[in-house]
Structure 1
């Protein structure tokens, strides 16, 4: 395995790096932060909230941790990262170890006042500029008319399996893992598997954009990462979340699926995080979103829940921030292909590009379908010409 910085490593020299990479990957999979911060009782909590005539904040239940934080932390710090000679990989592994340690602490701190501090360390606060952009989107985009037509979780799962079959036809061996689950309340990809809440319904016109988001981005980058020598590209290099979610939203935009309703939700998430950090509780956030910003009641609930879960989660601000940063990167000449190698952050582009040029990493195995759909090329060209996140609203009549 070659390494950055001009070093050509022998198999013996590369073994410590590959071993550390494998162990860091296994440890993060073991703690599964995303699943362990997803409420078990989302549907029941919504029903309870309705029964109170939307006046009493819900109680959310999280799953018990199925690992011992002290033992996992011991495994983490027993990793002999000092044996990795290459400076770039040494620095990358240290950063990932620190990120996983913060994740473990945050999971221990769930449902306490300490949790929000850990969340902020992991994902960062929304800047004043980002909050301003979010508020502008909410002001500029009129509340759309109520959506017509929903599909069940089972129908969405069928559509997801069909989407994965498209990939399997083009890329034999592409795994297809879709599961409808009673114990998740949000659509998510975990370890390359698409998990669908059993109680969820989906707007019919959101099915295709969501498939590009979840399968065409999250599953595809997982599978591309799984083909690389560095398995950390499946769980994500340090700080990858923002770029990964931004890329997934780009997939929605280039396929015409980033509609006004979706843009308002992304903006509402940033506003909700800002309110929470200012001391607002669930009811204040919910009432502000529904009253001031005119979100539908069910949407306001969903946004507020995601922000107050576990004691205060700032992660939802990364969606709008992520797409904003990718728009800036594309306008500066960054090719989206490098972001398809696996799960990485914009900050890692130079490192990944170097590894690609040296033949250490391989070009993406799978290219997502969303790059080729009708209208994609035109929107990608618009991005290259320079767009702000507030430019993404195309108006109801232009789609």
Structure 2
């Protein structure tokens, strides 16, 4: 520990408490349906005529007690201006998370989601619609792997990292109570009912392990534990980097780009007042999204009363393309889970040796062809330039 770090005693204590609070509220798991597999079976059996009932797990914390803990933190005693600003912003974000989780399954939830993930800019909706128009509809994939096979591929990916970084932890769980592939506090969680397209396995490993797990583990090597759970608004940059990982490794295929665009369009419909069946049907009829994919997109958007989170994938990669064109280095974004907006602040902490450079380098930067693709993006690219196939007639 450097002398700079030792001087931060009070700050590191508050950092630790904010991290504990975030872990206790666990926004990701608490907004993930526990019955998605059965809900799909019922929906299909009913010939797609009745909106599903998506069940969320009960909260395992008392919102009032957690709020009290949050506001008892003496952030005013943190002398370092950078950390003081960061901690106040994180406290504000956590207060919003607690309120949003209390508001699940009410009409108020969507407003909490907007506060956490931001408004939907007309330019983003226009880019999404352009992608859906540009890229021909894709046939549903028939070749897939099971949750067990994906878990095995994930363990092998962890082994590749461990070969270079022997202390790199590996944590893979196949779970019946999650409906989507996700990384929660460094653990890769795989839905037991998952059927993952065979050609998506490698891109998803670079997305989940190479981005979300790598930045978690890099954050875990820092004195600031908030870098493991994420600085305020980190999600958008994380997903932008993860989509970049897919692109650089040749895995951002037309189907995937259409899904990212369709998520934005679905959220736009939600905010216009559309309900599940209307969103689902418009994805199928207007954009010719395959049925099961349209189901997945629509459930993610209506969960809890309406979530705008899924706009962060397309918005995130758009922002990453902007900073690449500006000549910014990606390296600082691997220090932990942070947002593009935090780059100057994190660079300041690196320069003062409060933080250390990233421990692990993502493998996706070094796959054959990745650097050439990155150089092309640095020359300037829009999100539609990520599509490299035939244009729809």
Tell me whether the two structures share a fold, i.e. TM-score over 0.5.
yes
Q: Distance in 1 between matches of 2:194 and 2:300?
A: 15
Tell me the secondary structure at the aligned position of residue 334 of structure 1. Answer: coil
- Give the aligned partner of residue 73 of structure 2: 79
Q: Distance in 1 between matches of 2:8 and 2:251?
A: 43
- Give the aligned partner of residue 5 of structure 1: none
The size of the alignment, in residue pairs, is 391
- Give the aligned partner of residue 264 of structure 1: 258
Is the 1:272–1:303 Cα contact (8 Å) retained in structure 2?
A: yes
- Return 387-396 or 233-242, whichever deviates more: 387-396
Q: Distance in 1 between matches of 2:264 and 2:148?
A: 31
Tell me the secondary structure at the aligned position of residue 325 of structure 1. Answer: helix
Q: Distance in 2 between matches of 1:107 and 1:20?
A: 23
Q: Which runs of 5+ in 1 are unaligned?
A: 3-7
Query: Do structure 1's residue 288 and structure 2's residue 282 form an aligned pair?
Result: yes
Q: Distance in 1 between matches of 2:113 and 2:5?
A: 40
Tell me the secondary structure at the aligned position of residue 189 of structure 1. Answer: strand
Is the 2:135–2:390 Cα contact (8 Å) retained in structure 1?
A: no
CA deviation after TM superposition for structure 1 residue 355, in Å? 1.3
Residues 50-69 of structure 1: pairs in structure 2 closer than 5 A:
50-69=44-63
- Give the aligned partner of residue 10 of structure 2: 16
CA deviation after TM superposition for structure 1 residue 303, in Å? 0.1
Tell me the secondary structure at the aligned position of residue 179 of structure 1. Answer: strand
Taking a change above 3 Å as real, the CA distance of residues 329 and 10 of structure 1, as seen in their structure-2 partners, is closer
- Give the aligned partner of residue 235 of structure 1: 229
Q: 1:184 aligns with which of 163, 178, 181?
A: 178
Query: Do structure 1's residue 340 and structure 2's residue 334 form an aligned pair?
Result: yes
CA shift digits 1:254-302 (9 cap, x unpaired): 0010000000000000000000000000011000000000000000000
Q: Distance in 2 between matches of 1:150 and 1:390?
A: 27
Is the 1:260–1:396 Cα contact (8 Å) retained in structure 2?
A: no
TM-score w.r.t. the length of structure 2 is: 0.98
Query: Do structure 1's residue 131 and structure 2's residue 125 form an aligned pair?
Result: yes
- Give the aligned partner of residue 40 of structure 1: 34
Q: Distance in 1 between matches of 2:329 and 2:77?
A: 34
Is the 2:5–2:223 Cα contact (8 Å) retained in structure 1?
A: no
CA deviation after TM superposition for structure 1 residue 354, in Å? 1.4
CA deviation after TM superposition for structure 1 residue 356, in Å? 1.2
- Give the aligned partner of residue 393 of structure 1: 387
Residues 305-316 of structure 1: pairs in structure 2 closer than 5 A:
305-316=299-310
CA deviation after TM superposition for structure 1 residue 148, in Å? 3.6
TM-align CA RMSD:
1.2
Is the 1:184–1:197 Cα contact (8 Å) retained in structure 2?
A: yes
- Give the aligned partner of residue 274 of structure 1: 268
- Give the aligned partner of residue 147 of structure 2: 153
Taking a change above 3 Å as real, the CA distance of residues 159 and 9 of structure 1, as seen in their structure-2 partners, is closer
Query: Do structure 1's residue 108 and structure 2's residue 79 form an aligned pair?
Result: no
Is the 1:236–1:344 Cα contact (8 Å) retained in structure 2?
A: yes
Tell me the secondary structure at the aligned position of residue 279 of structure 1. Answer: coil
TM-score w.r.t. the length of structure 1 is: 0.96
Q: Distance in 2 between matches of 1:337 and 1:72?
A: 35
Q: Distance in 1 between matches of 2:140 and 2:23?
A: 39
Q: Distance in 1 between matches of 2:369 and 2:16?
A: 40
Tell me the secondary structure at the aligned position of residue 338 of structure 1. Answer: helix
Q: 1:163 aligns with which of 157, 164, 185?
A: 157
CA deviation after TM superposition for structure 1 residue 396, in Å? 5.9
- Give the aligned partner of residue 381 of structure 1: 375
Tell me the secondary structure at the aligned position of residue 89 of structure 1. Answer: helix
CA deviation after TM superposition for structure 1 residue 146, in Å? 3.2
- Give the aligned partner of residue 326 of structure 1: 320
CA shift digits 1:11-57 (9 cap, x unpaired): 3x411100010000110011100000000000000001011100100
Q: Distance in 1 between matches of 2:347 and 2:310?
A: 29
CA deviation after TM superposition for structure 1 residue 325, in Å? 0.4
CA shift digits 1:134-162 (9 cap, x unpaired): 00000110012332411000000000000
Q: Distance in 2 between matches of 1:230 and 1:272?
A: 37
- Give the aligned partner of residue 112 of structure 2: 118
Is the 2:4–2:354 Cα contact (8 Å) retained in structure 1?
A: no
Tell me the secondary structure at the aligned position of residue 256 of structure 2. Answer: helix
Query: Do structure 1's residue 207 and structure 2's residue 181 form an aligned pair?
Result: no
- Give the aligned partner of residue 70 of structure 1: 64
CA shift digits 1:94-150 (9 cap, x unpaired): 000000000000000000011011000000121000000000000110012332411
